[in-house]
C-alpha cells in the first residue's frame, strides 16, 4: 500500500503527507478499492505538457494526467502527474484555496483510477460530486 509523492521541475513540497495518504486510502476504501502503489508526481507546466505531447499526442497544457498500471480489479496501481502551475492558476480563477484545489486534483486522478470518467456532461457532474466529497473528507482528517 505504497503512496509516494515526487517532484519534477518544481520546488513544490506537499504538506500533510501522512494525512494525505490516510485520506487517499479512505477514499479508495469507500469505493471498495485497495491501493497497491500510487505515485503522485508534482511538476511544472512544461514538464506535464511534454508528457501530454509525447505519450498522449495532445498538444495542450493540462492540470493532470493519470496513467493506470492496475492489473487486478479493485486494486489501484498508477502514476498521477499534476502541474502545480495549473493548480495554482485554477485556484485563482475559481476563487478556491490552493489546498482545496490541490485536493480536487489529487482526488480527481484517484477517481480516474477507480473507473470514473469526465468526458460527457453526466460523467463530469458525477466527477465533480466525487471531488467535493473528497475535499470535505480531507477537512475531517
Question: Which residues participate in the annotated binding site for Zn(2+)?
Answer: 108, 112, 118
Q: Taking CA 132 as the corner, what is the angle to CA 126 and CA 136, rounded to the nearest 5 degrees? A: 150
Residue ranges of the alpha helices (H) in the chain? 17-30, 45-56, 84-94, 98-113, 121-138
Residues in binding site = 108, 112, 118
Position of cell 480489479?
A: 73
Residue in 54, 86, 48, 84 with CA at minimum distance from that of residue 66: 48
- Indicate the burial class of 97 (C-beta count within 10 angstroms; 0-12, 13-18, 19 or more): exposed
CA distance 35 to 48: 24
Amino acid at each position: 500500500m505504497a503512496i509516494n509523492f515526487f517532484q519534477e521541475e518544481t520546488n513544490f513540497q506537499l504538506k500533510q503527507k501522512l494525512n494525505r495518504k490516510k485520506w487517499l486510502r479512505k477514499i479508495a476504501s469507500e469505493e471498495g478499492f485497495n491501493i497497491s502503489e500510487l505515485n503522485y508526481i508534482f511538476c511544472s507546466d512544461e514538464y506535464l505538457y511534454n508528457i501530454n505531447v509525447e505519450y498522449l499526442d495532445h498538444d495542450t497544457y493540462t492540470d493532470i494526467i493519470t496513467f493506470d498500471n492496475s492489473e487486478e480489479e479493485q486494486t489501484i496501481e498508477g502514476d498521477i502527474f499534476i502541474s502545480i502551475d495549473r493548480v495554482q492558476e485554477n485556484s485563482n480563477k475559481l476563487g478556491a484555496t490552493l489546498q482545496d484545489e490541490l485536493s480536487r486534483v489529487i482526488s480527481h486522478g484517484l477517481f480516474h483510477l477507480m473507473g470514473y470518467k469526465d468526458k460527457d456532461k453526466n460523467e463530469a457532474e458525477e466527477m465533480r460530486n466525487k471531488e467535493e466529497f473528497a475535499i470535505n473528507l480531507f477537512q475531517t482528517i
